[in-house]
A and B are shown apart, each in its own frame.
Chain A
């Protein structure tokens, strides 16, 4: 994958990509380490930044994020409101609303053609026309509230019709209908729902319709932006299990955004945790749950009851998310971090590889410097499950 030529033309077909793709990037952009083949790369986001506003008043909502995703895997993005998780995703899919602007970076998406050759598109520089082709046929999106995501004045069937008509020109009317019925059946809805309007369906049904709609064109990547947050717990369960049944059947990759870390641990293969527009920790789901390395991750884990297992006291994270216009000097998390050291107030840590199975964290506690004692709850224990460890109370560092 030669980056330069991609930037120049937007779309590049590279035939001899196979050897390259099996290489897995562990941490940073071009610092590729040899590793076991983990399937094909589908998305590669590099140095990606998003601003809200222009010039002087611009606020950086996503800062230099590197992210990659392999075919048929599930990536979870967790973080509080305002951590930039949705902005990141809307940014690289070019769905940002004004005043959001992409401030830099690239988002390489691999559209695999039918004969197996890779076609790489940089979504950041792609033209409107190229984007329209990629949208929905390759990347589809499911939003939090399906009531507002479905056009209220169109019948459910019409909304499917619109999508199929736009992207599958050769389909006949009967074909389109058959496909729609098939899709509804996939999510467990009867075909009589076709004649209904969105407001006539229940919340769960609407989200099912949304999921069916997202799968209409067999996309390689489905982005889920808190798809179950607006639903009750029972429906949430149903939708999630339906989603994963479909995923194992069709093998699409998924980016799953939520603030519910305990949900992610069950669903995702890999999880990134975002804080103030930056990735602060990245690890496989189980590793992240068992041995969180970043104090913020620990705080998030302590904010949700585990889905299964022993009851623990919920502690949460003291303080509130930072004002992106006035970030603290040093580490963004230092005002809320109970472990903040002197260095944290001055220097900002960058995401560094921990050397354990692709884990990386942006925290000075893990810099390996002499004299830094890693607190026990953030240490590598190596033995199975994390002991429920409450966060210590934040004390003043001066």
Chain B
């Protein structure tokens, strides 16, 4: 489809801009990251060591900016993001270890929250004014509490005191990471509490949004017509929900984009080995290659999520398909 091609082109341009900004940012920062680093290293630093650090930054800091830029791009295409200063490992290796945890935990929670919230919201909107409406203040309550507080309380009560859920980490320390059932089960078990906390704290938004949209849509003529046509109730609700869900889909793309960056608090509280945890350490230690790598991942994740949501939207709302035909 031509439309999809167009979106893809648009997104690749955006990605390129993001990558370029990502490259330039450290150069715009006051001071020289290398000097900062050398300053942090206590004691004597030999010229060889300084040179080694320079090289670890991609090399050739003395070359013109444009040349550096192209080197950066070509390294990027080869999947080389440099070496982390603090962890002394290639950034790609580090990211490979942490990104799946974050994507898994926060991604699944966001989608769960979206699905449960939207379904609840649709039903609430349909049965407006019924006793079910008391769900709303309950959900809003959990969203109103600061997340770190909610998460900490849950961790203390359900994890430490009641021992209902395992705490700290993403899997049992007795197991070696790998594709085994035991490990997978352990990972799921450890993810339960964080997932519940995230869903609890974010569900109100989805629920309220969907409910309000549903109330608007239910008042539309085509829903009345669906009733007049004698369609079964299930189909009438579906007709309304199908239209009401569209704004929520747009919001979902934004929410997915925030998954990686929003992971920070969750991973701190639950001591989860994801990108948020990594980013915090990287920033504290001024580990520029790692920061750059994480930013890149965040940017690309946001773009990919947006692209996905765009495509889903195109599929769900035929009216968006004609808009670009100019």
Contacts and interface: CB of A to CB of B under 8 A. Distances in A.
B222 A149 contact: yes
Interface stretch (A26-34, A140-148, A275-283, A316-324): A140-148
Contacts of A143: 221, 224-225
B269 interface: no
A57 to B, nearest CB: 16
Interface string A138-162: 0011010100111111110000001
Nearest to B242: A153
Contact of A151 (B129, B219, B232, B243): B243
Interface in B208-254: 219-222, 224-233, 235, 239, 242-243
B316 to A, nearest CB: 7
A135 B229 contact: yes
Contact of A166 (B221, B235, B239): B235
Interface stretch (B45-53, B284-292, B317-325): B317-325
B322 A153 contact: no
A304 interface: no
B229 A199 contact: no
Interface residues of A, number: 31
Nearest to B224: A95
A243 to B, nearest CB: 18
Interface in A153-175: 153-155, 162-163, 166-167
Nearest to B245: A153
A152 B228 contact: no
Q: Please indicate which of the listed interface residues B222, B228, B319 has the most CB atoms of chain A within 10 Å of its own CB.
A: B228
Contacts of A140: 228-229
A292 B289 CA distance: 89
A302 interface: no
Contacts of B239: 151, 154
A166 B322 contact: no
Given A151-B239, A197-B318, A199-B322, A163 B229 contact: yes
A97 B221 CA distance: 11
A97 B239 CA distance: 17
Nearest to A216: B229
A10 to B, nearest CB: 16
B230 A134 contact: yes
A199 B222 contact: no
Nearest to B128: A98
B319 A197 contact: yes
Contacts of B226: 151
A351 to B, nearest CB: 29
B317 A153 contact: yes
A150 B243 CA distance: 12
B219 A149 contact: no
A162 B242 CA distance: 15
Given A153-B242, A153-B318, A199-B318, A95 B222 contact: no
A200 interface: yes
Nearest to A199: B319
A153 B243 contact: yes
A148 B222 contact: yes
A138 B224 CA distance: 17
Given A145-B221, A149-B222, A162-B235, A135 B228 contact: yes
Across the A-B interface, the 5 shortest Cβ-Cβ residue pairs: A135-B230, A148-B221, A132-B230, A197-B318, A149-B221
Interface of B: 129, 219-222, 224-233, 235, 239, 242-243, 316-319, 322
26 contacts: A95-B224, A97-B219, A131-B230, A132-B230, A132-B232, A134-B230, A135-B229, A140-B229, A143-B224, A143-B225, A145-B221, A148-B221, A149-B221, A151-B226, A152-B222, A152-B243, A152-B318, A153-B243, A153-B316, A154-B239, A163-B231, A166-B229, A166-B232, A197-B319, A199-B318, A199-B319
Interface of A: 93, 95, 97-98, 128, 131-137, 140-141, 143, 145, 148-155, 162-163, 166-167, 197, 199-200
